[in-house]
């Protein structure tokens, strides 16, 4: 347990930051789920729109420090590959 005021303040800061980061991570997952649903339905137009939103949200999480940059890039790359595969299958 924290004894000095600095340690107690650090605990408060960490709790606030954890709450914010959890909300941001949840928001990213929501956009990823929308993309997954569009892919599952096979709708290319909706999937492209969902991809743009998901990519934007992932990179925003990266810039906020919620997600590691390499993780964000890897996820975007995999989403793009799946979108490309769907696009070729539809064409």
pLDDT, tens digit, 9 for 90 and up, residues 19-73: 999 999 999 999 999 999 999 999 999 999 999 999 999 999 999 999 999 999 9
- Work out the average pLDDT over 2-25: 94
What's the whole-model pTM score? 0.85
- Answer whether 60's CB lies under 8 Å from 83's CB: no
The structural domain count of the chain equals 1
Angle ∠(10,14,20) on CA atoms, nearest 5: 150
Residue 29: the pLDDT is 97
DSSP letters for 36-81: HHHHHHT-HHHHHHHHHHHHHHHHHHHHHTSS-HHHHHHHHHHHHH
Q: Which pLDDT band holds residue 90 (cuts at 50, 70, 90)? A: confident
Asked if residue 91 has pLDDT above 80, the reply is no
* Residue range of the domain that includes 64: 5-90
Q: Distance (Å, rounded) from C-alpha 32 to C-alpha 57?
A: 9
Residue 68: the pLDDT is 97
- Chain centroid to Cα 22, Å, comes to 11
Which CATH number do you get for residue 31?
A: 1.20.58.110
Tokens (6 digits) for 40: 């599952």
């Amino acid at each position: 347990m924290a004894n000095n005021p600095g340690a107690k303040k650090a605990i408060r800061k960490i709790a606030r930051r954890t709450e914010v980061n959890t909300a941001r991570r949840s928001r990213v997952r929501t956009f990823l789920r929308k993309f997954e649903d569009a892919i599952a339905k096979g709708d290319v137009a909706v999937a492209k729109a969902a991809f743009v939103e998901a990519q934007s949200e992932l990179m925003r999480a990266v810039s906020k420090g919620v997600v590691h940059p390499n993780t964000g890039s890897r996820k975007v790359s995999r989403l793009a590959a799946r979108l490309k595969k769907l696009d070729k299958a539809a064409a």
